[in-house]
Each structure stands twice: as C-alpha cells, then as structure tokens.
C-alpha cells in the first residue's frame, strides 16, 4: 500500500515538474509581452506581474515593417497550404487506398524528404531567382515551404483516408457513381476535419520557417525573416514581443489539430 | 482494395507530388553542387571550398555545430524517452499531460530562442529568481559574448526544450505499437516494471528510437535561428555561416559550398545510422 502511494507520488510529481518545464517559457514570454512599458526594465522581475497591459504589444504592432511582414507571411502560408493540399491529397489517397509496386519506396522517399536540409534548397533557388530577376518573390518562398510541408501533408492525409471505410465508396460506385464522383461525394466529406488539420500543419510549417524565407527575400520579408534580419538592431523588448506574436497563433493552431499531429511524426 | 480500376490510377495520383518534389529538390541540389564547384565564368574550381575552409569562422562553426549536436541530441532523446515511458504508464490524466508536453512542437527555432531570451537576458527571469533567493548579488551575464559556456547552455536548453516534443511523439507512437499482452505476460512471469522496461519495451522500441535519433541528428546539423536569437554571431554554426555568406557577404558560391557541406554531413549521418546500427532500415520502412 505504502509502496503504491510512493509510486503514485513519484509519477504525479514528475508529471507536474515536466509540465512546468514545457509551459514555463510560454508563461515568461506572455508576462514579458504584457508588461506595461514603465515596468519593462524592473529588476529583479516579479514572477507574477503586478499589472498587465496590451499597450506595449500595440507599440510593437505599430513598429516598422511588422504588419506588412505579417501579411507576407499569411500570403506565403496560404499558397503553401494550397499547393500542399492540391498535390498532397491525391497522393495520400493513393497511399491509403491502393497497393501498388513502389508504394513502400514512395513512402520511404517521403520520410527522407521530411528531413531534407533546407540550406541546399534555399541557396541555389535564390541564386536561380536572382538570375531570373526575381529578387523578392514570395512565390519562391511558398514553393520551398510547400516542398517542406508536402511529406507531412501526405502522411497526415494518408492516415486520415486510411481510417475511413472504403466500403461506402465502393457502394456508391455500385449504385452508379463514377469513381471521381464517389471520391468527391462520399470519401471527401468525412475527411474534411483531416484535410483541415493537414492544411493547418502546412500553415504552421510555413509560418514558422525562417531560413529559406530570409535567403529568398530582401525587401518583402515574411515575419520570421523580418524578425531575424532586425535581431542585431532591435531592443530586447521588441524581440520578446516578436517571439510572443509569432508563437501565439502557432500554439493555438497546433492545439486545434492535436488529434492529427501524431500522424505527422508517428508511424504508418 | 480496388482491383478493377486501372493499374495506372495510383501512379497518376502520385505523379504531381513526385514531379513537384523532384523539381524542387533535384534541381536546387544539382544547382548547389554546380555553384559550389564553379567560378563566375563557369569553369571548374575548388576555390569556393578552399575559401570556406580558410574562413576564420569555419572551424568554429564546424566545432560548435558538432558540439551542439552531441549535447542536444542525447539529452533530448533521453528526456523524451523518460517522458514517453511516463505517459505510457497511462496514469489518470496522462492524456492531458501528454498534450501539455507536445505544445512546444508549435514553436519555431527562432521563436524558441526569443522565448528563452526572456529567461536568460541580463534583467531576465532567471537572474531575477536567483537574486530574489539570494543565490547571486548582481545579474549574471549568461549571454555575454565572452561567456561561451553560458551561451552554449542557453542554446542547448532552448533547443532541447523545443524539439523534445517531436521525439516524444515518435516514441509514444512507437510505444503504442507494442502489444499490451507482451507486458502482461512479462508481469505474470514476475517481471517488475524496471525489468519489463529493459527487457521488453526498450528492445521493441528500438526502431522508433533509431529513427528519432536520425531525424534529430539531421535537424541538429541545420541548427540556425535559435543560435542567432540567443547568441547572435558570437556562436557561429554551419547553417548560420551559409546564411551570412549569402545574405551579408553576398557570395552565393561559398554559401553553396556550405550547403553542400551540410548535405554531405547529412548523408554521412544517414549512412552511419543505416550501416552501423542494426535494423534501422526496417525501422524506416515500417514508419
């Protein structure tokens, strides 16, 4: 009995300590970002802030380049999502529904592409763009992001399609639906939440990516590229606000699709 | 499975994605090699690699990248393994805790650096806490340019914090594949939790552990923005040098040489894992 209790205490004790480790940086950045300007250089800082305000955050949003960079990030991420879904959904469907020669080889290729070094894509692509006269092309950033996101989109969607029964699709075909019609009317609707999850995952990959974005753009920068470029010159407060501003949507999105995230990194 | 539809259907469905990845990976890769091995005029040369090797930052960047890899990867795999085993004990509330542990997955490398800046800066939360508890009398400059150990520790902590979640997902998924009967059988035959873990769970988890190690090793070779956020240029790393050669020095050829060097290290990592560790090939195919 006593050993059991000790065991329990150990399990919950470590679980809580690890939860604090996982969450503390979020708490610290949020408190930093919401500290009123007058208290920013207080030292030692109280762990629990005495007053909070969104005024500092407002100042950050008004500071030069943040809003346009955010818009650029959104444009790039949306194009990434579109390319990812348009190319990824058919491929995922093929992986989930067909047994064919080279299926495992294709899957293995996806797993390898998932970890392809971004430098080797971004630098030569930038060199190609410069020769074509495209110095600042958001499209080229989207293309690199889509190449990064595509394996994840396919793996998530293959899991989603694989979990859906293919019998109703066959039934629809038996009742005279074309294969394409069966896919659109029967297979797709129940997969909608999975498609949304894959879209969100692709969005977050693009929203977070900094190396390719920094290499491929000079003036029309995405948000991470803008933040990285101004690291050397911006004051600490601005850096912390930028961190908070970049992390917030990504965390919300990942929590929204929590059921699907394991498909991106898990087996299958 | 559909057999009556044409055999070409799956290939038609796969073709767009294959073509896209081939174009976006093969062409830039070939272009990178060409860039790194050619002069402006297009003649073959090793000069770009020689300039890369002769650069004062190269040996530092190479050493720091390797050092970070050797510190971060084992640390986070061990941590993730401990967390995965804890989650897998399926205590009451383990789902909520698992969700909490995976939240850092949403954070980019750049943002992770900026988040931990709140802790490690001169007037940050770490110094505040240490001062309030009387451990220090004045702020410690953790991120000062001459505090190599401080800078390195901050980077290791921030990057381990961020990427442990990814390893955790891989390991938990691997643990779920282990049939519960195996563990129950072992328990019936009198194996305690430790013996069950060592003799049943860990051997069966090896494929997942190996692919987690490989993925993280490859990503660690590309460590970049977290270093820039916490240490600026004071801790040069390979990917950071590639970026600087391109963006600051405007020399795409030396930048390409760095990119090719990183790719070569990636290939070495894959070969080492596939050849030297038994079984990872099946592990890769399985997942």
Contact A175, A115 (CB under 8 A): no
Query: Is the pLDDT assigned to residue A7 strictly greater than 80?
Result: yes
Q: Which residues of B touch A86 (CB under 8 A)?
A: 16
The shortest C-alpha distance from B62 to chain A (Å) reads: 15
Residue B237 lies in a domain: yes
- B106, B220, B239: best to mutate for the A interface, most A CBs within 10 A: B106
Residue A58 lies in a domain: no
- A85, A114, A117: best to mutate for the B interface, most B CBs within 10 A: A117
Number of folded domains that form chain B: 1
Do A129 and A225 share a domain, yes or no? yes
Cβ count near A250 (within 10 Å) = 21
Q: Which residues of B touch A120 (CB under 8 A)?
A: 28-29, 32, 259-260, 262-263
CATH of the domain at B82: 1.10.3720.10
What is the tens place of the pLDDT at every residue in A216-246? 988 899 999 999 999 988 889 899 999 999 9
CA distance B77 to B97: 18
Residue B125 lies in a domain: yes
Residue A59 lies in a domain: no
Query: Is the pLDDT assigned to residue B277 strictly greater than 80?
Result: no
Summary mean pLDDT of chain A: 89
CA distance A263 to A138: 29
What is the tens place of the pLDDT at every residue in B54-74? 998 999 999 999 999 999 999
Number of folded domains that form chain A: 2
Which residue segment(s) compose the domain that A133 sits in? 64-265
Query: Is the pLDDT assigned to residue B264 strictly greater than 80?
Result: yes
Sign of the Cα pseudo-torsion (B141, B145, B146, B152, in order): positive
Residue B25 lies in a domain: no
- pLDDT score of A262: 81
- B48, B80, B111: best to mutate for the A interface, most A CBs within 10 A: B111
Do A114 and A157 share a domain, yes or no? yes
Percent of chain A with pLDDT over 70: 99
Summary mean pLDDT of chain B: 89
Please calculate the CA angle A266-B3-B4 and round it to the nearest 5 degrees. 140
Residue B203 lies in a domain: yes
Do A7 and A72 share a domain, yes or no? no
Do A38 and A159 share a domain, yes or no? no
Average pLDDT over residues A114-141: 87
- Per-residue confidence band for A38, with pLDDT thresholds at 50, 70 and 90: confident
Do A129 and A230 share a domain, yes or no? yes
* Higher-confidence position of A122 and B192: A122
- pLDDT score of A50: 79
Q: A177 and chain B: CB distance < 8 Å anywhere?
A: no
What is the tens place of the pLDDT at every residue in A54-85? 888 888 888 778 999 999 999 999 999 999 99
**Which residue in this structure is represented by tokens 């991106």?**
A264
Do A37 and A88 share a domain, yes or no? no
What is the tens place of the pLDDT at every residue in A92-101? 999 998 888 8
Percent of chain B with pLDDT over 90: 64
Which residues make beta-bridge pairs with A260? none
Do A105 and A75 share a domain, yes or no? yes
CA distance B213 to B218: 9
Query: Is the pLDDT assigned to residue B283 strictly greater than 70?
Result: no
Do A20 and A70 share a domain, yes or no? no
Residue A250 lies in a domain: yes
* Higher-confidence position of A177 and A211: A211
- Per-residue confidence band for B141, with pLDDT thresholds at 50, 70 and 90: very high
Query: Is the pLDDT assigned to residue B285 strictly greater than 70?
Result: no
Q: What is the largest CA-CA distance in chain A?
A: 75
Query: Is the pLDDT assigned to residue A192 strictly greater than 70?
Result: yes
Average pLDDT over residues B86-110: 93
- pLDDT score of B287: 40
Of B1, B124, B127, the CB nearest to A99: B1
Residue B166's closest chain A neighbor by CA? Answer: A265
CA distance A264 to A164: 18
Residue A12 lies in a domain: yes
| Helix residue spans in chain A (DSSP H) | 2-33, 55-62, 66-97, 103-113, 118-131, 138-163, 167-174, 179-182, 188-208, 211-216, 223-229, 236-256, 258-265
Residue A39 lies in a domain: yes
Residue A11's closest chain B neighbor by CA? Answer: B86
A191, two tokens: 């997969």
Query: Is the pLDDT assigned to residue A112 strictly greater than 50?
Result: yes
- pLDDT score of A74: 97
Which residue segment(s) compose the domain that B57 sits in? 46-286
| Inter-chain touch B139–A117, beta carbons under 8 Å | no
Query: Is the pLDDT assigned to residue B4 strictly greater than 70?
Result: no
Do A171 and A208 share a domain, yes or no? yes
Residue B39 lies in a domain: no
Contact A26, A46 (CB under 8 A): no
The shortest C-alpha distance from A268 to chain B (Å) reads: 5
CATH of the domain at A195: 1.10.3720.10
Q: B17 and chain A: CB distance < 8 Å anywhere?
A: yes
Residue A244 lies in a domain: yes
What is the tens place of the pLDDT at every residue in B145-204? 899 999 999 999 999 999 999 999 999 999 988 888 888 888 888 888 888 888 889 999
- pLDDT score of B6: 66
- pLDDT score of B217: 94
| Inter-chain touch B13–A23, beta carbons under 8 Å | no
Residue B33 lies in a domain: no
Q: Distances from the Cα of B90 to the Cαs of A3, A21, B84, B175, B228, in angstroms?
A: 18, 20, 10, 12, 39
Average pLDDT over residues A42-53: 81
CA distance A130 to A135: 5
Cβ count near B11 (within 10 Å) = 16
Residue B185 lies in a domain: yes
Q: B127 and chain A: CB distance < 8 Å anywhere?
A: yes
Contact A201, A156 (CB under 8 A): yes
What is the tens place of the pLDDT at every residue in B227-262? 999 998 899 999 999 999 999 999 999 999 999 999
Residue A156 lies in a domain: yes
| Inter-chain touch A90–B29, beta carbons under 8 Å | no
Residue B283's closest chain A neighbor by CA? Answer: A267
Of A119, A127, A253, the CB nearest to B31: A127
Residue B50 lies in a domain: yes
Do A133 and A40 share a domain, yes or no? no
- Long-range contact pairs involving A107-113 (C-beta distance under 8 Å, separation at least 24): A107/B285, A108/B284, A108/B285, A109/B21, A110/A151, A110/A154, A110/A155, A111/A151, A111/B211, A111/B284, A111/B287, A112/B270, A113/A147, A113/A150, A113/A151, A113/B21, A113/B25
A residues 7-66 closer than 8 Å to B (CB):
8, 11-12, 14-15, 18-19, 21-26, 28-29, 31-32, 41-47
State the ipTM, two decimals: 0.90
Q: Which residues of A touch B99 (CB under 8 A)?
A: 255, 258
| Inter-chain touch A250–B285, beta carbons under 8 Å | no
Do A211 and A258 share a domain, yes or no? yes
Residue A73 lies in a domain: yes
Query: Is the pLDDT assigned to residue A202 strictly greater than 90?
Result: yes
| Among A76, A69, A118, A77, CA closest to A229 | A69
What is the tens place of the pLDDT at every residue in B27-56? 899 999 999 999 888 889 999 999 999 998
Do A154 and A256 share a domain, yes or no? yes
């Amino acid at each position: 009995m006593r050993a059991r209790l000790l065991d329990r205490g150990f399990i919950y004790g470590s679980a809580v300590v690890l939860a604090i480790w996982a969450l503390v940086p979020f708490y610290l950045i949020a408190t930093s970002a919401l500290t009123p300007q007058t208290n920013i250089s207080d030292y030692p800082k109280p762990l629990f802030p005495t007053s909070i305000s969104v005024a500092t955050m407002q100042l950050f949003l008004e500071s030069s380049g943040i809003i346009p960079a955010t818009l650029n990030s959104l444009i790039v991420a949306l194009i990434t999502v579109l390319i990812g879904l348009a190319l990824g959904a058919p491929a995922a469907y093929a992986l989930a529904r067909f047994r064919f020669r080279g299926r495992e080889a294709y899957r293995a290729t996806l797993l390898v592409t998932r970890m392809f070094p971004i430098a080797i894509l971004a630098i030569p692509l930038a060199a190609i763009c410069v020769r074509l006269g495209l110095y600042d092309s958001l499209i080229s950033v989207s293309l690199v992001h889509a190449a990064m996101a595509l394996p994840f989109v396919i793996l998530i969607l293959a899991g989603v399609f694989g979990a859906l029964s293919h019998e109703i699709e066959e039934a629809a075909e038996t009742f005279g639906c074309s294969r394409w019609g069966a896919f659109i009317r029967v297979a797709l609707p129940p997969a909608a939440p999975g498609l949304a999850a894959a879209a969100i995952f692709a969005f977050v990959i693009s929203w977070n990516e900094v190396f390719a974005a920094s290499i491929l753009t000079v003036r029309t920068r995405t948000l991470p590229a803008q933040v990285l470029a101004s690291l050397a010159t911006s004051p600490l407060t601005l850096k912390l606000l930028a961190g908070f501003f970049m992390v917030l949507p990504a965390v919300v999105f990942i929590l929204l699709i929590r059921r699907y995230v394991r498909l991106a990194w898990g087996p299958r | 499975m559909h057999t009556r539809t044409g055999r070409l259907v799956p290939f038609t469905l796969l073709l767009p994605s294959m073509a896209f990845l081939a174009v976006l990976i093969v062409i830039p890769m070939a272009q990178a090699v060409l860039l790194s091995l050619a002069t402006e005029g297009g003649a073959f040369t090793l000069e770009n690699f020689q300039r890369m090797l002769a650069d004062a930052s190269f040996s530092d960047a190479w050493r720091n990248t390797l050092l970070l890899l050797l510190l971060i990867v084992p640390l986070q795999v061990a941590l993730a393994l401990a967390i995965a085993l804890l989650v897998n004990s399926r205590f009451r509330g383990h789902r909520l805790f698992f969700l909490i542990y995976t939240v850092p997955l949403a954070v980019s490398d750049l943002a992770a650096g900026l988040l931990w800046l709140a802790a490690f800066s001169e007037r940050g939360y770490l110094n505040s806490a240490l001062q309030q508890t009387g451990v220090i009398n004045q702020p410690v400059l953790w991120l000062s340019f001459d505090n190599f150990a401080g800078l390195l520790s901050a980077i290791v902590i921030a990057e381990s914090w961020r990427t442990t979640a990814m390893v955790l997902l891989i390991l938990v998924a691997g643990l779920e594949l282990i049939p519960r009967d195996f563990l129950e059988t072992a328990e019936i035959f009198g194996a305690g939790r430790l013996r069950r873990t060592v003799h049943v769970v860990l051997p069966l988890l090896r494929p997942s552990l190996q692919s987690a190690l490989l993925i993280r090793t490859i990503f660690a070779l590309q460590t970049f923005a977290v270093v820039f956020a916490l240490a600026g240029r004071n801790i040069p790393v390979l990917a950071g040098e590639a970026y600087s050669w391109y963006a600051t020095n405007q020399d795409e050829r030396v930048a390409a040489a760095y990119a090719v060097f990183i790719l070569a290290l990636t290939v070495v990592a894959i070969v080492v894992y596939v050849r030297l560790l038994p079984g990872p090939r099946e592990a890769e195919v399985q997942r």
